[in-house]
Amino acid sequence: MTRLAYRFRDPAFAQLALTHRSAGKPNNERMEFLGDALLGVVVAELLYEAHPNASEGELSRLRAQLVNGQALAVIARELELGDELKLGSGELKSGGFRRESILADAFEALVAAVYLDAGFAECRAVVRALFEPLVAAIPRSSKDAKTRLQELLQARGWPLPHYELIDSRGEDHAKTFDVACAIAEPAAIRAEGTGSSRRAAEQEAAETVLRSLQEQLQG
């Protein structure tokens, strides 16, 4: 683990994290599950700090952009995990140490290994160090989705979006709202959003409509 900025107290955790199921049992499958959850929490925290005006939906999409198989495989390659993977003979012959899914899973398992070896605080520090540059590279947006959608429509001379409350449910202190956002031009686009407030639901719906509209304009 020379490329990871962490020294394991118990190297057995790292060895297990780098043991693919093709090598038999025990292997890193359970650790992948734990590592995926840990990555989600820490990356969500980083994005929450870096994008104070982003909606829930936008934050979720940014997290998915950073925590997916392709992105995690890139980090795994930078850490040279492929050189340390323990694979079965079949995977070894077929070049499994280069396979994106295997590398991504190994990285998730390695995150879990740090957690099991030293606890959440140490795991959080390791993950933040790896992902802070990636989060910093994402452009900050000072305007929320509703504002950006409205400004785009106004700039083109198109009608403003229409928001409709579809449903609200739950106790007064913990309500959930479903809201639809719709535009008529340049083409009819409608999307729904859900949030703990009407505003949050509107932002999520607006973000989806905005993304669809931008894809149309770029296409």
84 vs 81: CA distance, rounded Å: 5
Catalytic residues: 36, 108
Sign of the dihedral through C-alpha 197, 198, 203, 205? positive
84 labelled binding-site residue = no
The string over 76-93, giving b where at least 16 C-beta atoms fall within 10 Å of a residue's C-beta and e elsewhere, is: beebebbebbbbbeebee
Is the Cβ–Cβ distance between 110 and 81 less than 8 Å? Answer: yes
58 labelled binding-site residue = no
Is the Cβ–Cβ distance between 18 and 84 less than 8 Å? Answer: yes
State both tokens at 105.
């899973």
135 vs 62: CA distance, rounded Å: 9
164 labelled binding-site residue = no
Binding residues for Mg(2+): 32, 105, 108
Binding residues: 32, 105, 108
